[in-house]
């Protein structure tokens, strides 16, 4: 008995097998495409979620002004952002019990003195509600304190919070966090330095790194 398959009979089976293989490849391609779209969607949602969380837990506004003032006064833009975060959480119009106003919590007396020394002749207290003015004056003060304490950020921030007189008594340019006797000021310095690192990581592009 002849057991060999006739070539004409084998061709339909080969075409069927090729068709099944092509179908499997199409299905695999579709599955891979769907998986890729799912990954993109998940990453996009993670980015949106991360941004939304940052807007609540680590807000950033007026980054153009912050970048400008950082460049003009040779300051770390993340440090300016962190001071604003600690002082007002980027909420405009805040006034402290000591009368400090605005995003960087500047007192009218300090602002008037900065205006006089920096050549501003038309300063009025209501100007502190303007982000450009408030961040400019706060950055001016921060730059002065950084220079006063030879770049020691701990001393500069302690002075920003508790006044230069206290920072001088606590150690001046050699001041360390552990040397600060006021719990409030010690916590303030830690908060600003921690926030600065978070701003550098979370807002590198916005802050010009």
Secondary structure of 150-182 as H, E, C letters: CCCHHHHHHHHHHCHHHHHHHCHHHCCHHHCCC
Report the range out of 24-38, 85-99, 109-123, 147-161 with the highest average pLDDT. 147-161
Q: Rounded to an integer, what distance in angstroms lies between the CA atom of residue 59 and that of residue 117?
A: 32
pLDDT of residue 118: 86
- Residue from 55, 63, 72, 87 carrying the catalytic annotation: 87
Whether 87 sits among the annotated catalytic residues: the reply is yes
* SS3 of residue 101 by DSSP: strand
Give residue 8's pLDDT band: very low, low, confident or very high (50, 70, 90): low
Cβ–Cβ < 8 Å for 118, 103: no
C-alpha to C-alpha distances, 192 to 17, 80, 188, nearest whole angstrom: 68, 9, 6
Residue 11, pLDDT > 80, answer no
Mean pLDDT in residue range 170-197: 98
pLDDT of residue 35: 81
The rounded percent of the chain whose pLDDT value lies above 90 is 66
Q: Rounded to an integer, what distance in angstroms lies between the CA atom of residue 80 and that of residue 192?
A: 9
For the CA atoms of 185, 193, 81, 71, the dihedral, rounded to the nearest 10 degrees, stands at 110
Q: Rounded to an integer, what distance in angstroms lies between the CA atom of residue 7 and that of residue 81?
A: 79
* SS3 of residue 186 by DSSP: helix
Residue 50, pLDDT > 70, answer no
Q: Which has more pLDDT, 72 or 93?
A: 72
- Reported as a single tens digit per residue, the pLDDT across 21-42 is 777 888 878 888 888 887 776 6
Q: Rounded to an integer, what distance in angstroms lies between the CA atom of residue 207 and that of residue 67?
A: 6
pLDDT of residue 25: 80
Residue 62, pLDDT > 80, answer yes
Q: Which has more pLDDT, 39 or 59?
A: 59
pTM, two decimals, is: 0.75
- Reported as a single tens digit per residue, the pLDDT across 144-177 is 999 999 999 999 999 999 999 999 999 999 999 9
User: Mean pLDDT for the chain?
Assistant: 88
Residue 3, pLDDT > 60, answer no
Cβ–Cβ < 8 Å for 88, 104: yes
């Amino acid at each position: 008995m002849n057991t060999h398959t006739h070539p004409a009979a084998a061709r339909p089976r080969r075409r069927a097998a090729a068709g099944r293989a092509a179908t499997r490849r199409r299905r695999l391609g579709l599955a891979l495409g769907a998986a890729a779209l799912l990954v993109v969607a998940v990453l996009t949602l993670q980015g949106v979620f991360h941004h939304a969380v940052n807007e609540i837990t680590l807000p950033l506004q007026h980054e153009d002004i912050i970048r400008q003032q950082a460049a003009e006064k040779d300051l770390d833009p993340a440090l300016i952002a962190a001071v604003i975060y600690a002082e007002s959480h980027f909420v405009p119009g805040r006034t402290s019990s000591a009368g400090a106003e605005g995003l960087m919590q500047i007192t009218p007396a300090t602002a008037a003195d900065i205006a006089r020394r920096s050549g501003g002749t038309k300063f009025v207290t209501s100007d502190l509600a303007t982000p450009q003015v408030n961040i400019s004056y706060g950055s001016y003060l921060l730059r002065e304190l950084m220079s006063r304490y030879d770049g020691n950020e701990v001393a500069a921030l302690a002075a920003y919070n508790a006044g230069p007189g206290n920072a001088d008594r606590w150690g001046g340019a050699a001041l360390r966090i552990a040397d600060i006797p006021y719990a409030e000021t010690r916590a303030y310095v830690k908060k600003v330095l921690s926030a600065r690192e978070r701003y550098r990581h979370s807002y590198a592009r916005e802050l010009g790194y």
